[in-house]
């Protein structure tokens, strides 16, 4: 399998190169050059496999420059019971007759990003070795909260790598912040940026494309790579759980092989749902991908109008990992639905940078809406959904997952479609316990409570266990207390690396 850039500047790259580089040198994103197709028979074979075997089957097709042994090493190191607190890795929970919850939060940091970030470091280290690169890899991450911690945890003490995470200083939850500033490991750094996620992401992109810095880094024996979902090595492991969820439903007799299902995905940077689109293209029987946003509803407007317009107020919501106005991975979808027209992609991305918006026109919009349905949930709707799901089903969901459930309800009302639907649950409710406790037990319940007390309360009142990764967070020592302005991110990198 070879890969090319959405901006047209590079092709025929191997997956090891693509994973090592992170982003293409022309600023584009890498996409596969050839199609991978799974027949129904092949999908049927997945039903008897465990998660690791399913991952081997799906990843093997895309990462074919890795030997089977190399891949096996990566997959079995990542998806082990010492890392995930469910032996199924991504278990499916039946919520109602038509609704299933795909629990993607059983990894060490309690968010779906673990599924990709537990395997990416292994893929990267092997890639660097295969390419006989000698530089130390510096992973730069911009995070709205969950990627940062998942990257720190995935890369901690991984030989030949350093990680620098930039998070919006006041734009992540208390638990998320504590998780990052208490991170252990000799090669990891987290930095609070005075700005929002888009500021952090723009800063990281600017550092990546800084030629002068790149050549100075090379002299000192460093090179940059990315652990954000612009890196193909982050995206491709996410395709696996769409197949895995489908195979589980077939294995349990909930659907027959070949039946269509929908997926509803709480969306920010468009990485998670894009993996679902790739699964659909590969032949997984998917009817609609329901793209769920919070009040930062750029994507809802885009899917409905064809105009991507980031010129709007950035809203801080109770689902902060989706507080994003520039969804990077949309570029890969646009490339696909324009029959791989790099000229158009360059034009639109240029307009977005210059003017703050672009219009893809009716034909492209129509193509997108064949696969996607977009909707959003307001703050009060999200909290009401958490309460309603708990009261009806005794099941506790986090704020992001609640956004997806609420938008799914709107989808059913709007379309009448009763196709069985899998909701992707992207975080443990404990990670956002303040909002969750407030939603279930009322404003009074959270008053004057520390984050730690809220975790305890959620656990006791709802009868669920605090995950290992979040226990005793308040007692851990703070190891990182650097902050910087959004214009000083480059300087901060230079000072951390001493270059």
Ligand X SMILES: *Cc1c(COP(=O)(O)O)cnc(C)c1O
**Minimum gap (Å) between residue 253 Cβ and ligand X:** 30
Identify the residue whose tokens are 């890392």: 83
Beta bridge partners of 372: 289
Q: Whose Cβ is closer to ligand X: residue 217's or residue 322's?
A: 322
Decide if 376 contacts 294 (C-beta within 8 A). yes
Q: Whose Cβ is closer to ligand X: residue 271's or residue 374's?
A: 271
- Binders of ligand X among residues 340 to 399 (CB under 6 A) are none
Indicate the SS3 state at residue 5: strand
Residues 214, 344, 311: CA angle, nearest 5 degrees: 80
Q: Which stretch binds ligand X (CB under 6 A): 124-132, 219-227, 267-275, 409-417?
A: 267-275
Residue 312 structure tokens: 């709007």
Residues whose CB is less than 8 angstroms from the CB of residue 7 and which lie 6 or more positions away in sequence, other chains included: 24, 26, 27, 28, 342, 345, 346, 349
Q: Judged by CB under 6 A, does residue 228 bind ligand X? A: no
Q: Whose Cβ is closer to ligand X: residue 113's or residue 126's?
A: 113
Q: Judged by CB under 6 A, does residue 321 bind ligand X? A: yes
Q: Whose Cβ is closer to ligand X: residue 171's or residue 271's?
A: 271
Among 70, 114, 146, 323, binds ligand X (CB under 6 A): 146
Question: From residue 3 to residue 42, what is the string marking binding to ligand X with x (rule CB under 6 A)?
Answer: ----------------------------------------
What is the Cα–Cα distance from 270 to 275, expressed in whole angstroms? Answer: 9
Work out the number of other CB atoms within 10 angstroms of the CB of residue 487.
12
Q: Whose Cβ is closer to ligand X: residue 382's or residue 492's?
A: 382
Q: Whose Cβ is closer to ligand X: residue 270's or residue 335's?
A: 270
What is the Cα–Cα distance from 207 to 337, expressed in whole angstroms? Answer: 30
What is the H or E stretch that residue 80 is in?
none
What is the H or E stretch that residue 53 is in?
helix 51-62
Among 400, 466, 467, 492, binds ligand X (CB under 6 A): 400
Residues with active-site annotation: 113
Residues whose CB is less than 8 angstroms from the CB of residue 202 and which lie 6 or more positions away in sequence, other chains included: 486
10: left (phi over 0), alpha (psi -120 to 50) or beta: beta
Q: Whose Cβ is closer to ligand X: residue 115's or residue 255's?
A: 115
- Binders of ligand X among residues 247 to 266 (CB under 6 A) are 266
**Minimum gap (Å) between residue 70 Cβ and ligand X:** 26
Q: Judged by CB under 6 A, does residue 430 bind ligand X? A: no
- Binders of ligand X among residues 54 to 113 (CB under 6 A) are 111, 113
What is the Cα–Cα distance from 44 to 256, expressed in whole angstroms? Answer: 10
Work out the number of other CB atoms within 10 angstroms of the CB of residue 29.
26
Site for ligand X (CB under 6 A): how many residues? 16
Among 75, 151, 427, 440, binds ligand X (CB under 6 A): 427
Residue 348 structure tokens: 């639109």
Q: Judged by CB under 6 A, does residue 229 bind ligand X? A: yes
Among 121, 171, 237, 271, binds ligand X (CB under 6 A): 271
Q: Judged by CB under 6 A, does residue 269 bind ligand X? A: yes
Among 322, 333, 334, 345, binds ligand X (CB under 6 A): 322
Residue 490 structure tokens: 């480059």
Binding residues (CB under 6 A) for ligand X: these are 111, 113, 146, 229, 266-272, 321-322, 400, 426-427
């Amino acid at each position: 399998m070879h890969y090319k850039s959405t901006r047209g500047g590079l092709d025929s790259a191997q997956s090891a190169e693509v994973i090592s580089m992170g982003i293409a040198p022309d600023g584009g994103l890498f996409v596969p050059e050839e199609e991978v197709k799974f027949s129904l028979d092949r999908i049927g074979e997945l039903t008897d496999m465990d998660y690791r075997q399913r991952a081997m089957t799906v990843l093997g097709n895309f990462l074919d420059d890795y030997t089977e042994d190399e891949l096996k090493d990566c997959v079995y190191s990542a998806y082990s019971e010492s890392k995930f607190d469910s032996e199924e890795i991504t278990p499916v929970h039946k919520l109602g007759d038509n609704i299933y919850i795909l629990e993607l939060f059983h990894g060490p940091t309690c968010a779906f990003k673990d599924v990709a970030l537990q395997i990416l470091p292994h893929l990267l280290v092997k890639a660097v070795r295969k390419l006989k690169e000698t530089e130390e890899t510096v992973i730069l991450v911009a995070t709205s909260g969950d990627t940062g911690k998942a990257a720190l945890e995935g890369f901690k003490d991984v030989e030949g790598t350093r990680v620098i995470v930039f998070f919006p200083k006041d734009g992540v939850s208390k638990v998320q912040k504590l998780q990052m500033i208490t991170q252990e490991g000799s090669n990891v750094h987290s930095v609070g940026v005075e700005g929002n996620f888009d500021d952090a992401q723009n800063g990281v992109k600017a550092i990546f494309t800084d030629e002068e810095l790149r050549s100075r880094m090379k002299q000192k024996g460093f090179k940059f790579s990315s652990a954000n979902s612009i890196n193909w090595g982050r995206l491709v492991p996410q395709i696996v759980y769409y197949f895995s969820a489908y195979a589980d439903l077939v294995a349990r007799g909930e659907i027959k092989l070949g039946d269509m299902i929908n997926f509803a995905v709480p969306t920010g940077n468009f990485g998670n749902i894009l993996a679902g689109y790739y699964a659909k293209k590969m032949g997984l029987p998917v009817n609609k991908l329901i793209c769920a946003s919070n009040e930062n509803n750029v994507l809802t407007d885009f899917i409905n109008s064809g105009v991507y317009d980031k010129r709007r107020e950035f809203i801080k919501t109770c689902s902060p990992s989706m507080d994003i106005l520039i969804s990077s991975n949309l570029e890969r979808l646009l490339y696909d639905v324009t029959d791989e027209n790099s000229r158009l992609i360059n034009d639109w991305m240029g307009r977005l940078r210059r003017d703050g918006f672009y219009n893809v026109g009716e034909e492209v919009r129509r193509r997108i809406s064949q696969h996607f349905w977009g909707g959003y949930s307001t703050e009060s709707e999200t909290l009401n959904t958490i309460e309603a799901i708990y009261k009806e089903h005794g099941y506790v969901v986090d704020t992001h997952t609640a956004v997806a459930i609420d938008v799914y309800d709107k989808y059913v009302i709007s379309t009448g479609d009763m196709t069985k639907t899998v909701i992707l649950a992207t975080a443990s409710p404990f990670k956002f316990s303040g909002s969750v406790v407030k939603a279930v037990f009322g404003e009074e319940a959270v008053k004057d409570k520390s984050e730690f007390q809220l975790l305890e309360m959620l656990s006791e009142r709802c009868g669920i266990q605090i995950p290992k990764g979040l226990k005793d967070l308040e007692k851990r020592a703070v190891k990182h207390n650097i902050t910087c302005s959004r214009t000083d991110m480059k300087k901060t990198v230079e000072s951390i690396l001493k270059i």
